[in-house]
Amino acid sequence: MKFAGIINYGTAIPRYRLKVADIARAWGKNPDDIIGSLGVREKSVPGTDEDSVTLAVEAGFSALSNSGVSRTEIEAVFVGSESHPYAVNPTATIVGGLLGIGTNYLATDLEFACKAGTVGMQLLAGLIGSKQIKYGLAIGVDTAQSKTHDSLEYASSSGSAAYLMGSGSVAAELLDYASFSSDTPDFWRRDGVSYPSHAGRFTGEPAYFAHVTGAAKLLMDKTKIIPEKITNCVFHMPNAKFPKDAAKRLGFTPEQLKPSLVVGEIGNPYSASSLLGLAATLDQAKPGDLIFMVSFGSGAGSDAFLWKVNKEIIFVQEARKKNKLRVQDQIKNKFYIDYTRYLRQTHKI
């Protein structure tokens, strides 16, 4: 194996859901217009006692359970998020402490908008591939922030995905990866400001599509792979339309994208978006499948990965199914709240 692979993975999606139609009606908008434009019907909402730490820990526990890896063998914990609870006080050490990892590990918080979690995967691939460490945990998590009556409010959501990575017997092997980056300020939040700003339609062509297709083409050229040889594809999901468009531009079919497309039911959990899409795909993957994945982070950049699924995935899937930990299980486990309660829980109004 050239780099590293996924030994196990865990996900966490809050139970609370808010219907996009309720947000639209609260602001005098036509629900059908909003839902039709975004392709998002409802979004996951954190409870009053849920933040990026609690969601990261829940996903981390799931990734470590039934993995055969002792928690004290974990030598790196990387947590990617744009909603770290503290400006100064690392999320990664809190998560590592609550997971019982011990003290002999490298901990760091990562920020790169919605691709901070995949940055952690790349860092672990380098450390594991160079034999500096044996096992590491990469987590993408967010309790996404958005102003009321802003277009982001309809899709910004919450969730987490954690990936235990190592070498040897792995459920999914990392065959190769590539990155595409540029200074494209389509989305930003200044220090001390509660909610992010964005450049409207500018977030599409020069930001999302330029970087997602750019990273994808770099990896395709590097690996000589073509869409017809790939089983499934995964893209960052700010809404349901962008990943469908990106897949079509790159030559993928709707069937290749479908298993990962969870945005309609949970919205966009920022740093967890593409990682939850990957988890949903792995939940139904078969040995020998090839999975092509591309993240996106505003600012801007994309990371592209090519994964090969191994026979070990069967044991991972059986455990997740038995314990109702699959992404689709968590999507179905929901409780609807109204817009007023949503404001109390997320905006403390």
- Among 50, 60, 24, which residue's Cα sits nearest to residue 275? 60
The yes-or-no answer on residue 233 being catalytic is no
Beta bridge partners of 19: 42
CA distance 335 to 260: 22
From 58, 114, 153, 233, the catalytic residue: 114
169: left (phi over 0), alpha (psi -120 to 50) or beta: beta
Per DSSP, helices labelled H in the chain are: 20-26, 31-38, 52-64, 91-99, 116-129, 210-223, 241-250, 254-257, 263-266, 273-282, 313-322, 327-332, 339-346
From 84, 198, 211, 236, the catalytic residue: 236
Sign of the torsion angle spanned by Cα atoms 105, 61, 168, 280 = negative
CA distance 95 to 101: 9
The yes-or-no answer on residue 236 being catalytic is yes
Check if the beta carbon of residue 86 is closer than 8 Å to that of residue 54: no
From 82, 153, 173, 265, the catalytic residue: 82
CA distance 124 to 138: 7
CA distance 57 to 62: 9
CA atoms within 13 A on the CB side of 273: 31
The yes-or-no answer on residue 82 being catalytic is yes
Active site residues: 82, 114, 236
